[in-house]
Amino acid sequence: MSKPRAELGERREYFDYSKGRFRSRVKVAEGYWMRMNCARADVAAAEGWEAIEGKVVHHVDGNRYNDEADNLVAVTPDEHRRLHAGMPRRRSK
């Protein structure tokens, strides 16, 4: 008996109780699932993995619970620091 295999890129959401929010598990290779924020998985699904490689997914409005496509942008860590330098201090990403 074998379970149907998950396709590469298949995504499953799960509730992360320690963070109090949903996160995604994405199958990136055979036998390897990567956990990431849903926002990150959204951008990867829309723009490809290259779009998020080495990048941080930033929430434009500062609300990390707002995972609407137009609120997400992939930026380098440097750009990300700059973006947050101009924002009110909040625990946001």
Q: Which residues bind Zn ion (CB under 5 A)?
A: 58, 93
Cβ distance to Zn ion smaller for residue 25 or 93: 93
> Closest approach of Cβ 41 to Zn ion, in Å?
16
Local structure of 33: helix, strand or coil: strand
HSE-CB at 82 with a 13 A cutoff on CA atoms is 5
Q: Which residue has its beta carbon closest to Zn ion?
A: 58
Instruction: Answer positive or negative: Cα dihedral of 54, 33, 42, 22.
Output: negative
> Closest approach of Cβ 49 to Zn ion, in Å?
20
Cβ distance to Zn ion smaller for residue 3 or 19: 19
> Closest approach of Cβ 84 to Zn ion, in Å?
6
CA–CA gap between residue 74 and residue 60 (Å, rounded): 10
